[in-house]
Amino acid sequence: MNVALHNSYRDEEEKEEVNLESRKVHMMAHFQDVSKQSSLHPKPAELVSQYGTAGFRANAKLLDHIMFRMGLLAALRSKKTKATIGVMVTASHNPEEDNGVKLIDPMGEMLLQTWESYATQLANAEQEDLLTALKDVIEKEAINMSQEANVFVGKDTRSSSSSLSQAVLDGVAALGGHSKDYGLVTTPQLHYMVRCQNTQGKYGEATVEGYYKKLCQAFIQLINNKASNCTDDQKHLSVDGANGIGALKVHEMESHLKKELLISLFNDGSKGKLNHQCGADFVKVQQKPPTGIEINPGERGCSFDGDADRIVYYYTDSDGRFHLLDGDKIATLISTFLKELLTQASLDLKIAVVQTAYANGSSTHYLENTMKVTVVCTKTGVKHLHHAAQEFDIGVYFEANGHGTVLFSEAAEEKIQQLAENPGTDDERKRAALLLQNTVNVINQTVGDAISDMLLIEAILAIKGMTIQQWDAMYTDLPNRQLKVKVSDRRVIDTTDAERRAVSPAGLQEAIDSLVKKYKQARSFVRPSGTEDVVRVYAEAEAQESTDALAHEVSLAVYRLAGGVGDEPKPLH
């Protein structure tokens, strides 16, 4: 090696050493802070938590240390991705006493799966092991600690959310990160802010006002195309805000709607308890209207969940019968609308609907056989649906519980835009292209969003001149039932085939198979919940009575074969 070259290598090595030295100094300074601050957010010894389907969720009293540590992790994730990361403090549809936290990745998606294990690792490190756990993540991910960190923080209306979100902010600060506290926002609003920030405003303005402006402008444009038979009465919608953040935000948004949508807001948090006897989860699982809402027969109502990332619709007919239009019906309405527009625009884009095993069998049958769209089934949990939807030009994904959105590939958005802007496009194609463009803009593509979904649904109904009864009549749901069974360790249940079959414990799937055979059009499956300490049982069949009987019999099989605790499940009737 010649001398000059050798010297330049040495220079490089020395620089590296200097760099390493300064990084170490940085790290030591940070660690002293972390050490000091973390003692103010101590972990109860031996408590074990797991970053589940929707982040951490538990009784709010057990979460302070986790919040602080998720602040640390968000700062690390931000340094690693050189982008803004979000942290949302909420326990969604769970009771007011609970709380939770989830991290949001740069494009507004859920945290990368490989980082979920770091989250669990940090949350479970005993107080004296926290620095070691932190260093471990830094080393594994080769994080440059001198890189700056930016974190957006938001919270729901739970009484515990203020101090818990402060703990997150403390965590970010302990690693020298910058944070922006959005205060009270819906979960999907925070996802939106993160995406806006990291796309330098291309997705929109990273403010709550910017969010209302973008969505409502698109909504008004869509509504301008309403069918001639659409009456003024049809502008009216009753919203159950679950006594949570969604109610506050709908109220805030109202002036942007220019009276094109007239909302009566119920369960706005002024008296009732969060998610108690109301909200999307209550309505879906109980299959009845929320308390605290007054709607005339035949009129549309909808319920949000506690952090406004889920929505379900419903009405009561003149015989007093309750009709639920869940995530499956919403996916069907939206995908039908999009498919019609694609045909009118003569755009060759592949559209698919992504569901989970909880999707009503009728919906899957209708989508595949009548609408002839591709249907994909994934495991429960939005991240699985989101990823599957990304595989298509247009991916409509919804969980039956009402969590869902639509994803457009970059290429699809470009094609739509080109067509809309091309002066040579004929009128019919142009109209369809403009409708598609505004549909893209009304949708929050980062995550399921009750407010955005509501605006899209309302626009579709108006454009198609469709009543909720006509929407409901697209297909008839099979009667279905969801139950929970307590077992000593829900992990004994292992599933396959997008959770539709149990591989353990031995004999359980065989037992389910033979029970299902007893009933017509029946289907049933069980899986351990990712958010509650229970096993969930789902059943559907030709009639409600047989569905309830099947759900009960399968619950008994779970209780007996998977280590049930407490009283044996009782029949529903």
Q: Is residue 540 close enough to count as binding Zn ion by CB under 5 A?
A: no
CB closer to Zn ion, 268 vs 307 = 307
One residue of 84, 90, 92, 275 binding ligand NG1 per CB under 6 A: 92
Shortest reach from residue 554's CB to Zn ion, in Å: 27
Can you state the angle between helices 450-464 and 208-223, rounded to 10 degrees? 10
One residue of 176, 505, 530, 563 binding ligand NG1 per CB under 6 A: 530
CA–CA distance from 212 to each of 31, 162, 250, 342 (Å)?
A: 41, 24, 10, 27
Q: Which of 92, 160, 238, 452 is catalytic?
A: 92
Q: Is residue 160 close enough to count as binding ligand NG1 by CB under 6 A?
A: no
Annotation says 165 is catalytic: no
Q: Is residue 305 close enough to count as binding Zn ion by CB under 5 A?
A: yes
- Give the H or E element holding residue 480: strand 480-485
Q: Is residue 98 close enough to count as binding Zn ion by CB under 5 A?
A: no
Backbone angles phi, psi at 442, to 5 degrees: -80, -15
CB closer to Zn ion, 279 vs 528 = 279
CA dihedral (13, 16, 22, 23) positive or negative: negative
- Which does residue 530 touch among Zn ion, ligand NG1, none (CB within 5 to 8 A, set by kind)? ligand NG1
Select the residue whose beta carbon is closest to Zn ion and give its number.
Answer: 92
501-504 and 301-304 strand pairing: unpaired
Residue recorded with tokens 């807001």: 265
- In terms of residues, how long is the chain? 573
Closest to 108 (Cα-Cα) out of 201, 199, 195, 207: 195
CB closer to ligand NG1, 88 vs 223 = 88
Give the range of 180-188, 222-230, 231-239, 531-539 binding ligand NG1 by CB under 6 A.
531-539
Q: Is residue 53 close enough to count as binding Zn ion by CB under 5 A?
A: no
CB closer to ligand NG1, 224 vs 529 = 529
Q: Is residue 401 close enough to count as binding ligand NG1 by CB under 6 A?
A: yes
Q: Is 572 in contact with 548 (CB distance < 8 Å)?
A: yes
**DSSP string for 554-566:** HHHHHHHHTTB-S
Q: Is residue 363 close enough to count as binding ligand NG1 by CB under 6 A?
A: no
One residue of 170, 240, 307, 328 binding Zn ion per CB under 5 A: 307
Q: Is residue 399 close enough to count as binding ligand NG1 by CB under 6 A?
A: yes
- Ramachandran category for residue 92: left, alpha or beta (phi over 0 → left; psi -120 to 50 → alpha): left
Q: Is residue 403 close enough to count as binding ligand NG1 by CB under 6 A?
A: yes
- Residue 550 identity (one-letter amino acid): L
Give the range of 223-231, 299-307, 475-483, 525-533 binding Zn ion by CB under 5 A.
299-307
178-184 and 150-155 strand pairing: parallel
**DSSP string for 140-193:** HTT--TTS--EEEEEE-S-TTHHHHHHHHHHHHHHTT-EEEEEEE--HHHHHHH
Q: Is residue 531 close enough to count as binding ligand NG1 by CB under 6 A?
A: yes
x/- mask, ligand NG1, residues 42-71, rule CB under 6 A, reads -----------xx-----------------
CA gap 231, 501 in Å, rounded: 48
Q: Is residue 425 close enough to count as binding ligand NG1 by CB under 6 A?
A: no
Give the range of 260-268, 397-405, 493-501, 549-557 binding ligand NG1 by CB under 6 A.
397-405
One residue of 268, 309, 472, 477 binding Zn ion per CB under 5 A: 309
- Which does residue 307 touch among ligand NG1, Zn ion, none (CB within 5 to 8 A, set by kind)? Zn ion
Q: Is 90 in contact with 56 (CB distance < 8 Å)?
A: no
Shortest reach from residue 312's CB to ligand NG1, in Å: 11
Find residue 353's DSSP bridge partners.
375, 396
Which residues are annotated as catalytic? 92
- Contact residues: ligand NG1, CB under 6 A: 53-54, 92, 358, 380-381, 399, 401, 403, 529-532, 536
